[in-house]
Amino acid sequence: MSGASVTEVEASEPKARDSTTRTLNIVYIASTANLVGGQIFTLLLFGLLLPNQVGLINWGTAAGGIVFYIADLGIETSLVVAIKNQPMRLSAITILIGAVRLVTAAVALGFWVVATRLHIMGGAELSVLLLVGLGLVARSLQTPFTAYLQVLDQQAVVALVQLLPVAIRLAGLLALWLGQTVGVTSVLLVMLAGDVTALLMVGLIARTQPDRQFTGQMRVLLRQLLRSAPLITLSQALLAGQNRLDWLIVAALTSYAALANYSIANKAIELLILAGSVFGRTALPWLVEGWSARNLPRNVRWLSAGLIVAGLAIATLGAPVLGLLFGHKYDGAAAVIPLLAALAPCLAIYQIVQFASFARGRALDAVIGGGLGLSAQVIVDLITIPRQGILGAAYGMCAYAAIALPVQLGLGLRTVVPPRAALELLGAAALLPTILILGALIGAHL
């Protein structure tokens, strides 16, 4: 390599690092705005619709979401890794993934037609499922475009486009309210309009990008997806189980009132844990290059520091703020919030490591770590929840965090995360629990 080319590479590294940090900042801001907008839309629905209408929409979105989550087969994640390793033209990616998505849509539509013919559900339920399903099909068809843009370092563009559906939902709901036409069908049509608009927009943006050099073949890409996607799906299913399985156990072994306290405590730290998922998904194409690519370790350190500070704030102020907002209605959550807040950095870091494992072709590590962690969580839940209520469920989450992250880091040592970085991640995950334990011990002796 000539001196000029070396100089060019060295000069480009700071630009790439700055671009990475800028992209991550934009993605976090856009994701937060998306989450807040979605919550506002949901609260408005609670106010404008009757309870049974809100329940019907929530039932339809939950049922449709589960079906399409399973049918995704991990393609959204594995596609980014595959085309990062073997560049392909957008047209080839769109044809292949579009065909897979349309087959999924056709199968789902077939079940809907059967349910209609056999009168398994009422007309209202079937109508809701159809409109929700069409919206989910529109979202699934975005996959080739979003994956293509991610590989071209356009993650910020993808995140900004995802603000469109929320903006259209809020504007549409305002128009329906002004026209006094707010109803289940009209609301679902507004939601569908937002999803279709986002599909068209992200497709047009992807088309404007310069096509990459074609090196991969379509059948090779399909073979890679079929090989990696099932393990990714299983690992994500285990993570979803960790997020909600304890809710079902709490409801079964205690009461719905106890579950309400436990769920609101979980909501208090949900945004912190989501930060790890947002980081991992955004950095996925860079993680394919390696843990040290694009100055990612520095960004992980900053994110870890922010999670520790935010977790400490929630641990100390979460219960008082909850009391200020709801009085004594959720007093049962007060003892649980500090425990869950202590786990927030660990659970967020775990999701980053999980995406790093996907990027390096080590999805099995995530399955083993997540499976062992979830098994420990369920065992602890079944033993402690009958005796200690939702505090026992928090202990179960502690068991999950204590096993899942160390196991996955150990399995991916050197191949996914370098030893020194692995020690840093474990230290960041353990720091906040250590601070809170020491604080509790000092407080008990004073």
pLDDT at 358: 87
Measured CA to CA, the distance from residue 363 to residue 231 in angstroms comes to 6
Q: Let me know whether 372 and 441 are in one domain.
A: yes
246 part of a folded domain = yes
* Phi, psi of 7, rounded to the nearest 5 degrees: -60, -40
Q: Closest Cα to residue 310, out of 262, 342, 357, 266? A: 342
Q: Look at residue 4 in the predicted model and tell me its pLDDT.
A: 46
- Give the residue from 216, 238, 266 where a domain finishes: 216
pLDDT of res. 13: 56
Residue where the block lists tokens 């995950």: 429
Please tell me whether residues 147 and 183 are part of one structural domain: yes
Number of folded domains that form the chain: 2
Residues 323 and 377 in one domain: yes
Residues of the chain with pLDDT under 50: 1-11
Residue 120 inside a domain? The answer is: yes
C-alpha span between 277 and 355 (Å, rounded):
8
- Which residues, including other chains, have CB under 8 Å from residue 392's CB and lie 6 or more apart? 380, 381, 383, 384, 385, 386
**Dist CA 249 CA 259 (whole Å):** 9
Determine the Cα–Cα distance for residues 139 and 67; give it in Å rounded to an integer.
Answer: 13
User: Are 11 and 123 members of one domain?
Assistant: yes
Each residue's pLDDT tens digit, 337-371: 999 999 999 999 999 999 899 888 888 898 899 99
* Residue pLDDT, tens place only, 116-134: 888 887 888 889 889 989 9
Summarised one tens digit per residue, pLDDT across range 38-87 is: 878 877 887 788 777 877 777 787 777 767 777 776 777 888 888 887 88
| pLDDT for the residue 9 | 41
User: At residue 418, what are phi and psi to the nearest 5 degrees?
Assistant: -60, 155
pLDDT score recorded for residue 167: 95
* Domain range for 59: 1-216
> Which of 186, 216, 246 is a domain's end point?
216
Q: Check: CB of residue 261 under 8 Å from CB of residue 335.
A: no
The pLDDT, as a whole number, for residue 210 is 77
